[in-house]
Structure 1
Amino acid sequence: MKLEIDRLRMEYGVGTKSPVLALPETSFGVRENEFVSLLGVSGCGKSTLLSLVAGLRPATSGRIMLDGAEVLGPGVDRGVVFQAYTLLPWLTARQNIEFAVAEASPKVKNRDRIARELLGTVGLADFADAYPSQLSGGMRQRVAIARVLAYKPEVMLMDEPFGALDALTRSLMQELLMQVWEEHKLTVLFVTHDISEAVFLSDRVIVMSKDRENFLTEVEIDLPRPRTPEVTDSVRFHELTSDLVMRLRDEARQASHL
């Protein structure tokens, strides 16, 4: 396995009278070049799990292994794309990527060329000198993805990266991500609330539940690759989507008090 989650557990307020269990003991793996989505209702631990893999906080117990080495903190071997764009507003799109290249490989001298190539990869070659404030939400997120690619990470971690976008832009961003994934042979762990998005993008969907006794369910997405928007009209796409809807419906109703 490329990435191994081994009995990972996260509890806030350990040692207090009222500790909060954010993530029950969790184990699964992600293979090299595999696209895995974490799906579930709010509060089931998806983002907590992703932040632990990113090394942004320590787990209460358990281990995270990447290429056989334990993850003990943040590192350039894991690139993170959040819903918020987190671009440096005083730098242009090109400069944001150059900054990432310098952080990952200080001795690299051809940063301008690398940045322009990556902007071309995400379809923003003509906006290299634009500042984040001059870009739309979808364009900013494309710069954020290009910036992560500059690190050449072993794993890309994505936490609802398209959640703030309108439906059409979100669909276009999903297509772009598929193209980038195919081109760069990435290993991706992707958090989403959107069932159709999870089915369209993934090789495997891990459904996380608030039911601590039946916490994880894995669903293989056996749709052919490379994937195009036409796959969403297929019978198999609708079968997989319906299956995941049924798995989540009762829990979503409870969470919404319906």
Structure 2
Amino acid sequence: MAHEFCLGKSGKVCIISFQDFLWPLDTETQEPIGTYPDYLMGTVQAHPHCLAVCPTKQPLVATGYSQGRTGKLDIWDYETYTRRLHQQFQDVALIPYDNSWNHQSKLDLWLTTPLIFTPDGKFLVAGFKQRLQNKLQLWNTKTGELTQTLDNLPTLTVNSLANRLDGQVLACGIRENKACVWELISDRILYTSLGVAPCLISSDARVFIYCTENYEIVVWDLAMNRKLSTLQGHTAPIGYVAMSSNHEFIASYSIDRKIKIWAVPEFVRYL
């Protein structure tokens, strides 16, 4: 009866959320990380409704909870069972997670996750709603300090994050009804397209993927600023896209309940 679950350490760890507890599990051995009852982590939150796990090396999990205009945000190390950050907030609310597909107008909301880790685990991005506007907060997971706040953006969603070799954190998502890639700390837009959600940026910040209103998937090389491929075949709005870490496959599904696995051209895999 899991409420939510996420994968970490390149799929080797699964974090399951139920009521006020988290279960860290090893996906290869199917055994808990730790010994009973220590592997049950109390979140100090009543039924946290937001969950994020660092996808790569860092053993970090974030939980969030909102009720009205108040809430809490926590970051945990699920191997040492220590809390890195505990933040209470007022007058804003974490963007709600809505898994309803009943109305097309809800699609962008469904695609928006309130909490995302950078691939290196150094930062957590939290998405908030304040009145009619969205705002982003960038938290340092080691020091627990708030690094950056972006606000006054009525149309702003973040679908994924990446780390560039020069240390910059890149985000991709929808800004002002366009698909964008931008530097989080400087808020400098690097690439803009007329595409729609969902969007995806590879963890090395090299490949950008976005969708079109014609249900196509566009694969773009950010370094060379050129289109690598257009994937055609969906006949309904696309709900999610994912790319393997070796750039070999792209997976997508649409609201007509069809899943497609795409073999990426060889010249894209070794970028």
Q: Could you tell me the TM-score, scaled by structure 1's length?
A: 0.29
Between Structure 1 and Structure 2, the one with more helix by share is 1
Q: Could you tell me the TM-score, scaled by structure 2's length?
A: 0.28
Between Structure 1 and Structure 2, the one with more strand by share is 2
